[in-house]
Each structure stands twice: as C-alpha cells, then as structure tokens.
C-alpha cells in the first residue's frame, strides 16, 4: 500500500468542477494511507468575472487560499516568490503542479527538483486545442520530461502528452467531472427530462462564454439554415461575453429575433431547466480542451452536437447515441448535423437513458479515484 503526503496546487477557487473532485478526494482519503492537502492560489480570473460567482460551498475539504481576488491582479514577482516558497516549505512527498504555461509554474518545478520532491502536473490541452509549434513544443517537452506523472481530461489530452514525450503509464485520466446543482437528483432526472420535453418544439441550446473561440456566430448561421427547413425550431443562448452585442445584432439583422433567445448568465436550477428543456445542446467551439457543458447536458439526458475540436468527443459524444461531432468551423456541416440530431434523438426517453449511462463514469468519485491512483503510483515508484 502506498503511503506519503501530497500537496495539490490549483489556480482558482472559482472552478466548481475541481471543487467537487477535490471534495470527493478528501472524502475517500479518510481510508487511505496517503494524505492530501489542497492549495488554491486565488479566487478567480478576469475572464470569469460576470459569468458566475465564486461559490465556496462546492469545496468541502480543508483548503488554503494564497490570494484573494483575481489571479492576474497579483504581481508576477509576488506570485512566483510565494508559490516557490510554498513548494520549498511543504513537507509533501509529491507536489501536483497546476499547469506548465506560466513562468511561476516553472519556478515551482525547479523548487521540486532542488528539494527532491516528486512532481506531477495537470494538463488540460489537446493537440487540436493547442496546435504544435516548434518554439512552444520544446519547452513543453522539457517540462513534461522533468515530471513524474500527469493528470489529464481524457484520451485526447493523453495523446497530446504522449506526443510530447510523456509515458502512457504515467498519464491518468479522466480527472474531472461536472459540478451539478445541489438540487439535482440523479434518480429524478429522467422524469424531469420527459416532463420538460413533452410536446415541446425543437429547441437547440448553447451554454458558454460569448467569445470568438466558442463559434456562436457559426451556430447562428447554421441555425438560420435549420429554421428554413423547420420554422418552429428555436435557439436559446445561455452566457455572457465580449461578443454578446455583436451576436444580438447578427440575430436581428438575420430576421431571427423571434427564434433566438439570449438568456444571459444562468446557474444551478435555472441552467438545469434549460438542459432539461432542450432537444440537444450545441457546442461549436474552435478551441475546447474538453467541454464540461457536455457533461452537464448528458447528466440531464440532453444529447450534444459538438465540433470535432472538442476534447470530449471520443468519450462522451458517441455518434447517434449521445450526440454527433461536426467539422469545426464548417457551418454547412453544423447545419446538417443539427438536422440529423433532431431525427436521431426523437425518442426522448431512449436518448436520455443512453446519455445518463455514458456519463455515469464521469462523476466526481471516479475522477478523484483516478487522481488517487496516479498519486499512489508516483509515491511507490
């Protein structure tokens, strides 16, 4: 049996999905010989502001927070010094780094090496999300070569890590899960889904930040074509972001104002109602390491149409079962796939059961178990 101590660093408390996984890890550690401590570096990040509040109730584990407010508001020298000192001072046998893309994370890695601590790193990138460039791939190869293990989202993050020299047996996936509303009752979700969709017109749903990389403008173009074939179809857009005003202008100029609703930012029960009521969710992102909104949708029995750049495609989006993938950036492909989804997922109950079955192993306890398994391997090697 592996023994030892692990200190996990994470960048922001805002991430509810990490909160539920760390909470599950803490709950399971009571019966483990490995002891964990979690260090949250800051509360939130600039681009998270206005999207949703920081909710500490999802973090049911002992936590140390280093800085209040936004990560970016802490001077780089201060951030680097504090994180380096935290690594130097910790008595942990294994340190899990929050990433590899900031100078301060390199400083943490060096501190681990100087003090002889084992080190692992969270990686949320994929080859499609982060196209390989020589000038950036060389430093990544060096960083990963100096680590003892890696925690990723799914198969595409594993492929990306292996392409940069990481060993397959040292990559542990999947290590994340959706943070569902506290009012969400899995045993009641199917009935909720059937009630919400009973007699409803076709409804497509987008959930996310209204920014260029999410491809919402391509979704609106594709929906306009869908609307010509199915006049009763509707599109509901949940979220806020820098493209909000321009997207509304596009909708108005396209004559879609009656068919497209900008809902704004939603959380918890309000967001659950959207998932339950939609025929399917659409995630047309040009860049998406995973797509946690797909986890959320499937938990609600709602299938998903996603771009093939989304990291969750191999595991969560199974053609004709839980959704479809289309060619990223191709509005015509998205249009055809949306129409295909309406036909394929006409049986609400059958589709909902399939979605809930697939998402079953992507819950917080399973994600926590994969982190614990990885830590145990690294502590005994």
**Mean pLDDT, range 117-146, rounded to an integer:** 82
Reduced to 3 states, what is the DSSP secondary structure of residue 285? coil
**Above 70 in pLDDT, residue 16?**
yes
pLDDT computed for residue 381 by the predictor = 82
Torsion of CA 26, 105, 118, 377, to 10 degrees: 50
What is the number of other CB atoms lying within 10 angstroms of the CB of residue 35?
13
Query: 4-177+363-380: which CATH topology?
Result: Rossmann fold (3.40.50)
Query: 186-359: which CATH topology?
Result: Rossmann fold (3.40.50)
- Between the CA of residue 92 and those of 1, 5, 36, 84, 371, what are the distances in Å? 17, 5, 9, 14, 16
- How far apart, in whole angstroms, are the C-alpha atoms of residue 320 and residue 308? 15
Beta carbons of 354 and 321 less than 8 angstroms apart:
yes
Domain 4-177+363-380 and domain 186-359 have a common topology: yes
Locate the domains of the chain by residue range. 4-177+363-380, 186-359
Question: In angstroms, how far is the first alpha carbon of the chain from the final one?
Answer: 12
Beta carbons of 214 and 208 less than 8 angstroms apart:
yes
What is the number of other CB atoms lying within 10 angstroms of the CB of residue 76?
11
The model carries a pTM of 0.94
pLDDT computed for residue 132 by the predictor = 56
**Mean pLDDT, range 135-141, rounded to an integer:** 81
For tokens 């000038």, name the residue: 135
pLDDT computed for residue 52 by the predictor = 73
**Mean pLDDT, range 195-218, rounded to an integer:** 94
Percent share of the chain, pLDDT over 90: 90
Q: What phi and psi, each to the nearest 5 degrees, are found at residue 8?
A: -105, 125
pLDDT computed for residue 133 by the predictor = 60
**Mean pLDDT, range 116-141, rounded to an integer:** 80
- Which two tokens mark 81? 């010094």
């Amino acid at each position: 049996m592996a023994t030892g101590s692990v200190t996990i660093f994470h960048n922001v408390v805002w991430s509810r999905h990490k909160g539920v996984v760390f909470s599950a890890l803490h709950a399971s550690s009571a019966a483990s010989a490995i002891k964990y401590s979690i260090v949250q570096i800051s509360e939130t990040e600039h681009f998270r502001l206005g999207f949703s509040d920081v909710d500490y109730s999802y973090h049911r584990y002992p936590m140390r927070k280093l800085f209040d407010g936004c990560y970016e508001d802490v001077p780089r020298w201060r951030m680097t010094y504090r994180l380096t000192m935290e690594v130097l001072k910790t008595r942990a046998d294994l340190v899990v780094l929050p990433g590899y893309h900031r100078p301060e994370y390199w400083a943490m890695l060096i501190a681990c090496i100087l003090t002889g601590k084992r080190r692992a790193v969270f990686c949320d990138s994929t080859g499609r999300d982060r196209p390989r460039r020589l000038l950036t791939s060389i430093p990544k190869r060096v960083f990963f070569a100096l680590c003892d293990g890696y925690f990723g989202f799914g198969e595409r993050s594993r492929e990306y890590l292996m392409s940069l020299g990481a060993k397959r047996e040292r990559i542990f996936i999947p290590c994340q899960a959706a943070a569902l509303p506290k009012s969400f009752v899995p045993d009641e979700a199917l009935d909720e889904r059937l009630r919400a969709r009973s007699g409803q017109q076709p409804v497509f749903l987008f959930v996310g930040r209204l920014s260029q990389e999410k491809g919402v403008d391509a979704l609106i173009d594709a929906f306009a074509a869908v609307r010509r074939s199915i006049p009763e179809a509707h599109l509901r857009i949940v979220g806020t972001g820098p493209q909000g005003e321009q997207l509304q202008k596009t909708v108005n100029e396209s004559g879609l104002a009656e068919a497209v609703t900008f809902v704004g930012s939603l959380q918890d029960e309000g967001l659950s109602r959207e998932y339950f009521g939609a025929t399917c969710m659409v995630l047309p992102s040009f860049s998406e390491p995973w797509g946690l909104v797909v986890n959320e949708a499937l938990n609600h029995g709602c299938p998903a149409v996603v771009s093939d750049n989304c990291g969750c495609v191999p595991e969560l989006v199974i053609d004709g079962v839980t959704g479809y993938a289309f060619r990223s950036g191709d509005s015509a492909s998205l249009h055809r796939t949306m129409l295909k989804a309406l036909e394929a997922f006409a049986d609400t109950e059958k589709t909902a059961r399939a979605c809930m079955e697939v998402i079953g192993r992507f819950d917080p306890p399973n994600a926590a178990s994969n982190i614990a398994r990885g830590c145990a391997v690294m502590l005994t090697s």
